[in-house]
Amino acid sequence: MFQGMRLPQLQVGDTIRAGMAVAQIPDLHNWEMTARIGELDRGHLVIGQPAELSIIAAPGKKLVGHVKDLGSVAGPPWDRHFDCKIAIDQPIPELRPGMSAVIVITTEALKNVAVGSGPRRYSKAMGARSCTRKNRKGFCRRM
């Protein structure tokens, strides 16, 4: 089967032919998630970067993964995104295909800097605002 294809609705007594897909069994040992990320953040990501995942349906359980693949940019000029595949290093049994997650990818760690400056992170969740650093008054500032 190819991505986007659907399995036929089969009933008892239907005739099938050789090679016809009648069921799809997911591999529960090798999990990966796909995140749609804005074009402007592509320069901050490389394959192999660590990622933290919080599955919404399994609260309180943090998973660790890494960036496995970066897709090409697609979409209209005013809303360009690319797909970022993240491999989960140690999956939990509660995972199911189609679950949503909050993904945090550490893009840069600053060493020997003043207190209050830490690793720069990219966090993407539905309706969340990306804040890379806070100024002295505590307000978000884009970099």
Q: What is the largest CA-CA distance in the chain?
A: 72
Q: Report in angstroms the alpha-carbon separations of 131 from 20, 107, 117, 143.
A: 49, 13, 13, 9
Q: Which residue has the tokens 């945090």?
A: 104
CB 66 within 8 A of CB 49: yes
Kindly state the average pLDDT of the residues 89-116. 81
Query: Cα-flanking dihedrals φ and ψ of residue 76, to 5°?
Result: -70, 160
- Residue 119 has a pLDDT of 56
Q: In a 10 Å sphere around its CB, with 0-12 CB exposed, 13-18 middle and 19+ buried, how is residue 122 labelled?
A: buried
CB 86 within 8 A of CB 35: yes
Query: From its phi and psi, is residue 122 left (phi > 0), alpha (psi between -120 and 50) or beta?
Result: beta
Going by pLDDT thresholds of 50, 70 and 90, the confidence category of residue 111 is confident
Is a pLDDT exceeding 70 seen at residue 8?
yes
Q: Which domains does the chain have, with CATH numbers?
A: 32-132 (2.40.30.170)
Least confident segment among 28-42, 62-76, 119-133: 119-133
Is a pLDDT exceeding 60 seen at residue 88?
yes
What is the CB-side half-sphere exposure of residue 140 using CA atoms within 13 A?
7
